[in-house]
Amino acid sequence: MDAIYISGMEFYGYHGVFEEENRLGQRFYADLTLYTSLREAGTTDDLTATIHYGEAYAEIKKIMEGEPVQLLETLAERIAQQMLSTYERVQKVRVKVTKPMPPFAGTLQGVAVEVYRER
């Protein structure tokens, strides 16, 4: 299976369990891998034979900057389901959502969840 990567997407959202997170917001990152066959696109140079990266990004942005949720797991699941429902060519999807500044004491680069879904 071939793969398309959209990595290091940065968004500002109001997700989290605590009131301050919902009021002030914070940065979030998302990484996406779409698993599909790229053979036809590679041999025909035809955009309709692959996934339009800009359109996929726009769908992810709607979720990441949209309705606040409490959990990173919810964001990742929504993105995965959106990709599978929007793009019939996608057979599998891997989504990682990172919160670089979680609201607890500690030295770390962030917390993240990753989901892997397939048809």
Q: What torsion, rounded to 10 degrees, do the Cα atoms 88, 83, 113, 61 define? A: 160
Look up residue 111 and give its DSSP letter.
E
- Candidate list 61, 62, 96, 99, residue with the active-site label: 99
61 catalytically annotated? no
Question: How many Cα atoms sit within 13 Å of 42 on the Cβ side?
Answer: 7
State the Cα–Cα distance between residues 14 and 23, nearest whole angstrom: 7
Catalytic residues: 99
